[in-house]
Chains A and B, each alone.
Chain A
């Protein structure tokens, strides 16, 4: 119950900044349009690159823009809050609470993610659907897979960044430890950003976006994202959002 309360407060905290949300939706959509046209040019020459067609590719772009903030792979959200609180020493207050630190911050992050999914996820998706020909789930079952993929993704986010440092320790603790040693939390954040761009399916850079379109073989094997590996381990999800969306 407490965690639900934390999550709702986080949801409300982010929903205070309406102008920022609108500005974010606008920016995501601009990048969506740019990448879509770049993709269409590629698929214009190779209509079945990597076994996908042009609308699959464009859908991938817009899904990526929609999930960018929800998953907050580039930083932001409660991991940044935590890092800042370690830096300022406010973390002592958090540790005094008779509640698990990880649960607390996970709840806050889920509240934030819910808000971002509803606004910055839904907004660009609608705009993308208006401007381009997107692929929609073929049935309720394949439609349900997306949320299933999303949740482990969120949880794995914690793992994703420290995994770059290749220390398979408890992720949050590692991040905390790292920033305590480095004082400046921007450093691990940046290292995480570098690692996450090519390593995750979320399209931030073309590198993250199109290896599946038939890049060199040595790249393809390391592309499956942290989450993908995870969800495969659970045996529940296909390797990237596209196949589940288009029912493959």
Chain B
């Protein structure tokens, strides 16, 4: 339904699809411009950063396509449309995701995939590295998916703080576009152990590039992305349940 609805205005659809891809691509153009004056940023070259950029872009792109609409849950709460959804015999989360499903978000995924492929051309692939890359993308999707859900749940309590979630979802995407070596060690540790955004691309990419951890953290972290994703998924589902339980209709 929503796919057909968005294709109803083809000019709008294509402008927004191409525009969305261009906007995210400009982030990479910015990095490329930076590399006109420098050879490496935080000890990483442009292609290595391209790998990081592509991986995190794939993660947030797919997560955003699947569940980006959850950001609007505050609107559903305000307008009372959430009540209607609760009476239907389908999972609430699925309904919220399916509402206002936006196929134009595909362009972002394609753009990230293109950068990832370009950067991945220079990785020396082995079967294990392919496996790590696959689980990196899967874990990245799950991690961003969970961040979208968990922080959107805050809107069950105060319905106008949707911006707060952006700091973690889009902020998490932005921070992982750079090699984490440019940030202080404390920040990187909290991105590993408090909010596991670093597992989206940083640790698996270190393995793909055959590098040691610049912060001296243990090497097994490079394989721990699925674990981080599972832990975060558990926490996000708890938050979601707490949020839905806390929800009381506006009534009439």
Contact = CB atoms under 8 A, between A and B. Distances in A.
B36 A216 contact: yes
A209 B81 CA distance: 41
Interface string B27-44: 101110110111111100
A117 to B, nearest CB: 17
B103 interface: no
B16 A41 contact: no
A45 B29 contact: no
A118 interface: no
A197 interface: yes
A45 B44 CA distance: 12
A206 B31 CA distance: 7
Interface residues of B, number: 39
Contacts of A216: 33, 36
B36 A205 contact: no
B33 A210 contact: yes
Given A37-B183, A182-B12, A214-B36, A27 B41 contact: no
Interface string A27-61: 10011001101101110011001100000000000
Contacts of A35: 174
Interface stretch (B17-25, B140-148, B209-217, B232-240): B17-25
Given A186-B12, A210-B30, A215-B33, A37 B160 contact: no
B247 to A, nearest CB: 17
Chief secondary structure at chain B's binding surface: helix
Given A24-B163, A187-B9, A190-B16, A38 B178 contact: yes
Interface string B159-171: 0111110110001
Contacts of A206: 26-27, 29-31, 33-34
A243 B239 CA distance: 47
Contact of A190 (B15, B162, B178, B181): B15
A40 B19 CA distance: 30
Contacts of A213: 33-34, 37
A183 interface: yes
Interface in A5-28: 17, 19-20, 22-24, 26-27
Given A23-B162, A205-B30, A37 B182 contact: yes
A214 B26 contact: no
B11 interface: yes
B119 interface: no
A34 B40 CA distance: 18
A241 interface: no
B158 interface: yes
Contact of A205 (B16, B20, B23, B171): B23
A182 B171 contact: no
B175 interface: yes
A205 B31 CA distance: 9
A191 B15 CA distance: 7
Interface in B25-82: 26-27, 29-31, 33-34, 36-42
Interface in A112-129: none
Contact of B19 (A27, A50, A194, A210): A194
Interface string A185-223: 011001101100110000001111111011110010000
B37 A207 contact: no
A184 interface: yes
Contact of B11 (A31, A187, A209): A187
Nearest to A197: B26
Given A31-B174, A41-B182, A208-B26, 13 more contacts: A23-B161, A38-B182, A41-B178, A41-B181, A45-B37, A45-B40, A198-B26, A206-B27, A207-B33, A209-B30, A213-B33, A214-B36, A216-B33
Interface of A: 17, 19-20, 22-24, 26-27, 30-31, 34-35, 37-38, 40-42, 45-46, 49-50, 182-184, 186-187, 190-191, 193-194, 197-198, 205-211, 213-216, 219
8 contacts: A23-B160, A24-B163, A40-B182, A46-B38, A184-B12, A187-B16, A210-B33, A215-B33
Interface of B: 9, 11-12, 15-16, 19-20, 22-23, 26-27, 29-31, 33-34, 36-42, 158, 160-164, 166-167, 171, 174-175, 178, 181-184
